[in-house]
Amino acid sequence: MIADPAASPPPVSSLWLAVLIFAVAAFPLLLTPIIPAVDFNSHLLRYLILADDGATPYLARNYTPDWKLVPNLGLDLMASLLLKFLPPLTAGKVIAASLLLSLYGGTLLLAHAVQGRLRIMTVILAGFLMHNHIYTWGFANFLLGVGIGLAGLAVWLKTSNNPRRQLALAIAIGAILMLVHALAFGIWGIMLAAFELGRAIEARDLGLRSLSLRALRLAAIAVIPVITFLLSATADAPQGVTSSISNILTHAENGDLAQRLLAECVSRLDLLLRITDTRLPWADRMVGLSLWALIIGGMLSCALKLTPQVRVPILVITAMALLIPPNLFGSGYVNDRFPLLLMCLIISSLAAVSPHRLARPALYAASALLAVHLSLVTVQYWRAGRYFDDYIQAVSKVDTGDTTGFIAFSGAGRDELSPLCSPSLILLALVNHSSVQTFVLPTQQPLKLDGKLAAAMQALARQKLKKDSTIGAEAPSTAWRQTRIQQYLTAGFDSVLVCDGAGPPPGTDVVRNIAHGDTWAIYRFTR
């Protein structure tokens, strides 16, 4: 049975515990000048440009707001308004905190709708969701969309006794979700369908007429989002639905399909362990393994149980986590996002069986593990703060010019160094007023490049960047890295920021190092 809409409100102790856990999780944001996340700060720069609207010369010379209908406008609209009143770095922390709250609050709202109350175990387990691998990658619009979607599921369940109100609210939530993030809307629709199927199975109401009516109601929710998508620039994206089929055929022709599929399976299993994220891969895997062991062991011992109506959605999202292609509708890393959704559903429906002798030990174990996880997060943010403080002090003393390019060598990809590399580039825009590369896909962002920055990007694209024989190795050769730096400067960038886990390459007679740290350096032509 779905929880009664008139169920009693959460106990005060659960609410205060939820507030306390959120405060502890948000505290690390105060320890660093900029959020250590891969893509987040590139989005923050775009919000600043949109809010500035050409008022600041160094931004107006190289960026132009290009407002248009794309299904990823949620934070662009809200954050650009916020940045009219707050400094960029302060606004960044407010936005980051709102993403933590969105996912945490959405999971707790769904838990209350599913279970009829907010349980202490649920509040504690939901605390693991805030600092997750998707948050560290900085998929801001998607995280906001997931939080809204989870809250939307709660509304759907809470209003099940009033079908007209339920449908009206769902249509409004669906329209909002499409503007926030198209993929988040699609996933929300799938979860809605899974909940409805679960309800039909539970009620043994699987007749053709009944299932057709449920399907029609769900289709009505999708009308506005589908029209919005078709009218948006994203509908014309060249990537299509997915490139998975062509990728599979390519691997089959190369004879390495079996090896690639095995690597993909290992990667997806690893993603299940690295849901919690502190930028310490070994620690994240240990915390993730312990969390899964606690949940699975608790269910096997009957100390924890899943609420029945969430079983079908959990099965559906589990299947998608295993089978969904990496790229879909122009979005990358799609498969990486489903383990987080799976954990949100499990936690929202997991309850401790109070009479069971292991229920209290499970609660204590979850509390201790959460304390370890949040302590690791705090330490890593403190370290990131020291890194960025030293970086700001160093770069503020040099002239990086009007435009700065960005190269990541062994620090490329989404590893533990990446959340430091990308913010370092954006800090050059905020501290040194140097225009830098950022997201400007015309089918996804309401922004375009202009001036010297656009010319440098176009010139770089025309160059044939030579590949090094060590390109697949841990660190490319020094000569090849120096060549890449010179190519960026030749394209027209005034300076180049290099992020290199192997240590920045030395300068040459042509290129000089004007500032550097252990893993980064800035280069300009020698005059």
Q: Which one has a higher pLDDT value, 511 or 2?
A: 511
Question: Residue 513: enclosing H or E segment and its boundaries?
Answer: strand 511-516
DSSP classification of residue 128: G
Measuring CA to CA, how many Å separate 351 from each of 304, 316, 391, 502? 6, 21, 46, 47
The pTM for the full model equals 0.89
Mean of pLDDT over the chain: 85
Q: What percent of the chain has pLDDT over 90?
A: 47
Least-confidence region, from 63-67, 251-255, 331-335, 381-385 = 251-255
pLDDT higher than threshold 80 for residue 193? yes
**Tens of pLDDT, residues 294-327:** 999 999 988 888 888 888 999 999 988 888 777 6
Residue 484, token pair as written in the block: 């890449």
pLDDT of 49: 93
Measuring CA to CA, how many Å separate 65 from each of 68, 76, 233? 9, 11, 15
**Tens of pLDDT, residues 70-102:** 888 888 999 999 999 999 999 999 999 999 999
pLDDT higher than threshold 60 for residue 155? yes
Q: Which residues contact 162 (CB under 8 A, 6 or more apart)?
A: none
- The residue written with tokens 């020698």 in the block is 526
DSSP-derived pairing of the beta strands 63-65 and 447-449: antiparallel
Residue 498 bridge partners (DSSP): 407, 521
